[in-house]
Chains A and B, each alone.
Chain A
Amino acid sequence: MAWTGKILRVNLTAGTCTAEPLNQEWAQTYLGQRGLATKYLVEEVDASVDALGPDNKLIMATGPLTGTMASTGGRYSVVTKSPLTGCVACSNSGGFIGAEIKFAGWDMIIFEGRSPKPVYLYLVNDQAKLLSADEVWGTSVWHTDEWLHNRHQDPMLRVAAVGRSAEAGCLYSGIVNDLHRAAGRSGVGTVMASMNLKAVAVRGTLGVGNIKDPAAFMGAVNAGKKVLADNAVTGQGLPTYGTQVLMNVINEIGALPTRNMKEVQFEGADKVSGEAMHEPRKSDGKPNLTTNAGCFGCTIACGRISTIDQGHFSVAHKPEYWGNSGGLEYEAAWALGPDTGVDDLDALTYANFLCNEDGYDPISFGSTVAAAMELFKQGRITTEHTGGMELTFGSAEVLTWAAEAVATGEGFGKDLGLGSKRLCEKYGMPELSMTVKGQEFPAYDPRGIQGMGLAYATSNRGACHLRGYTVASEVLGIPVKTDPLATEGKADLVKAFQDATAAVDSSGLCLFTTFAWSLEDIAPQVDGACAGEWSAERLNELGERVWNMERDFNLRAGITAADDTLPKRLLKEAANIGPAKGRVNDLGKMLPEYYALRGWSTDGVPTDATRTRLGLD
């Protein structure tokens, strides 16, 4: 129960849409969303396939709590093999389309094959059709969204689409839904575009009604909502400042990676912070931030709705960007700002709008621009490559020019679309790429937050903050404060966060609830809604199972323990300033302990005993 029990299989080669029953045994073992979709992927796709070839598949999956009244219960995940990392890709998004898929009667949609011509999936309850997307191929997400609403004369239609960047092969393109929410990381949009699938447009009017124990469920939901409301982070910090509440905090502890992660504090952090977004502008007296916004069912509402100063050089003659849209969140603000050295809030907001408009990951984009700036400084990239643009750190003009170039994939945008790893290889300085397994870092320097180094190195999708957010403990003291500069106990901490996160990501709920909730708060909600008995222990074990299943896929894809590492800069070049001054990340002290805790061999392979314990084949 809470699952619809139905999967939609879309074969793009044949142009068919077929309903299938959900594998209920797997639902009991992998729950939904990240876990369940990954189970389908590993069963159906050979880990060695070309991510952009016809044998890869792309799965859009809801969780059992998606579409319910559980706070934040609107999440969906996109699971596929990543063209950026070669690992399993699992990108999670909020907004409203996840719930809409559920309301239309589906737990997940599996896309396979490749359409001979551009198409979109039009899904209204049990009616699924592939329709021509010729008219919108080569246009942005925003244009496609508007075109679909007009074409179907349906303002309630929910749309997820890829933009021009994905069509042009940018390796970190995402799938944008509801105009400014995104399954953003690891190039899931690039895979979607490679299938000639432009968009998914959904209307669901069936709702979610099959709750196992309605009274118990509503009791747990209301208790959970109260915990979120009473918590300082989820009840006050996130609604007021969004995730951008972190900009000044992380800068102060000397863990704000700056100028391609060479430095750990940014002198302009306060100009691009959550607080700055509230400051009235000189030009029109309005702040950058118009309001906060909630995704489906979310009682936190960390989302930012912002405008750009109409007089700013980036939009002065472009009234189409004068309205409100999705504003800066911390990771995006960091990558576009401190990592490129740019402290112009309007330029960052404009670049962020473009990331949404044409569907590319602002974290990977900003980090790649930062790498390009360092390559320029080193003389490897020159104005001959860029068509005359001087890629200097701190230039807002360079940032906005680069964002426009990646949006279309034209000119130097093609190179920037390669991502940091391939760009640095192409220009002969691979050591300047700040990536793990080919994916760019988010906004926490592992020299100043030691546990994050281990979390990055072992993340199953490459460098990522959403796989084991030990920042919660090391900086914010959630659930208990640990010393960010210590390595002791971090292996245990990372494993605990990774497993719990995998469970949350499989439920339909947002990870941000875990600033206030533990699995003890989540289990009663899952148990109230879903068939079976669901305890925190069971969810935790499920998370560990998912983690090992992802690891297995990556091992079969040719990723090894040698890839569980960090760029030399973070292991050898000490932090230059701040509380972490003189420190590198001591990954070597944590990694062997982590492997042992995981029940893996010294070369990072799950042992037979571990597989048996978790019920993995």
Chain B
Amino acid sequence: MQRSLLIDANKCTGCVQCELACSYEQEGVFNPAKSRIRIFTFHQEGRFVPYTCTQCAEAWCLQACPVDAIGYDAATGAKIINDAACVGCKVCTIACPFGTVNYNSDTGKVIKCDLCGGDPACAKACPTAAITYVEADQTGYDKMRAWAGRTDTGNTATA
């Protein structure tokens, strides 16, 4: 069963543990600048928002790539950069409507979330469950459950 990263920005404290875990998993270095997930802080509003690739089913990046360097992992649903094929043309960074594919000038290749092969480091590192890895077909269930909990069925429990 495929799973997806589910992000609940309301729980995020901006601690960047996810960025550290991601960069360490992907690059072997604690370095937010190389993280595939980023937290954006909106100071005036008091909001912290983690953002990363949603692994579109029909991925703009994959379709835009002129050298077929972006592949698809059928098990996880991740769209994955093949570094050997990537020529660093950055067309995918333009094609992605969400900005979640980015260029790494140190390597001349692009980087994006690959779901760590099905065990995403960001979700494991998050201390507040703002980032979880859940069944892809049920990402809305937590919200549904919360709304469902407000429903007055008219019943009263009797002992």
**A interface residues (Cβ-Cβ under 8 A, vs B):** 67-69, 71, 96, 103, 156, 179, 204-209, 214, 218, 225, 229, 239, 290-299, 301, 303, 305-307, 323-325
Contacts of B29 in A (CB 8 A): 207-209
Q: Give the distance in Å from the alpha carbon of A69 to the alpha carbon of B32 in the complex.
A: 11
Closest Cβ of chain B: how far from A26's Cβ, in Å? 24
Q: Give the distance in Å from the alpha carbon of A299 to the alpha carbon of B129 in the complex.
A: 11
Interface size class of B (residues with CB under 8 A): 20 to 34
Q: Are A207 and B27 in contact (CB under 8 A)?
A: yes
B1-34 to A contact mask, C-beta < 8 Å, 1/0:
0000000000001111100110110011111111
Q: Are B17 and A229 in contact (CB under 8 A)?
A: no
Closest Cβ of chain A: how far from B19's Cβ, in Å? 9
Contacts of A207 in B (CB 8 A): 23, 27, 29-34
Q: Give the distance in Å from the alpha carbon of A295 to the alpha carbon of B20 in the complex.
A: 13
Q: Are A299 and B15 in contact (CB under 8 A)?
A: yes
Contacts of B45 in A (CB 8 A): 323-324
Inter-chain residue pair count (beta carbon < 8 A): 85
Q: Are A297 and B16 in contact (CB under 8 A)?
A: yes
Q: Are B13 and A103 in contact (CB under 8 A)?
A: no
Q: Are A297 and B31 in contact (CB under 8 A)?
A: no
Besides the known contacts A69-B21, A103-B33, A324-B45, 18 further A-B residue pairs in the complex with CB atoms under 8 A apart: A103-B31, A204-B33, A207-B29, A207-B34, A209-B27, A209-B28, A209-B29, A209-B30, A214-B28, A291-B46, A291-B48, A293-B48, A296-B15, A298-B13, A299-B17, A303-B13, A323-B43, A325-B43
Q: Are B16 and A324 in contact (CB under 8 A)?
A: no
Contacts of A299 in B (CB 8 A): 15, 17, 127
Given contacts A209-B28, A229-B127, contact A179 B16 (CB under 8 A): no
Q: Give the distance in Å from the alpha carbon of A376 to the alpha carbon of B72 in the complex.
A: 75
Contacts of B31 in A (CB 8 A): 103, 205-209
Q: Is B138 an interface residue (CB 8 A)?
A: no
Q: Are B43 and A324 in contact (CB under 8 A)?
A: yes
Closest Cβ of chain A: how far from B7's Cβ, in Å? 16
Q: Is B128 an interface residue (CB 8 A)?
A: yes
Most buried by B among A225, A298, A325: A298
Contacts of B15 in A (CB 8 A): 294-299, 301
Contacts of B125 in A (CB 8 A): 69
Q: Are B46 and A305 in contact (CB under 8 A)?
A: yes
Contacts of A96 in B (CB 8 A): 16
Q: Are B43 and A225 in contact (CB under 8 A)?
A: no
Q: Give the distance in Å from the alpha carbon of A569 to the alpha carbon of B14 in the complex.
A: 43
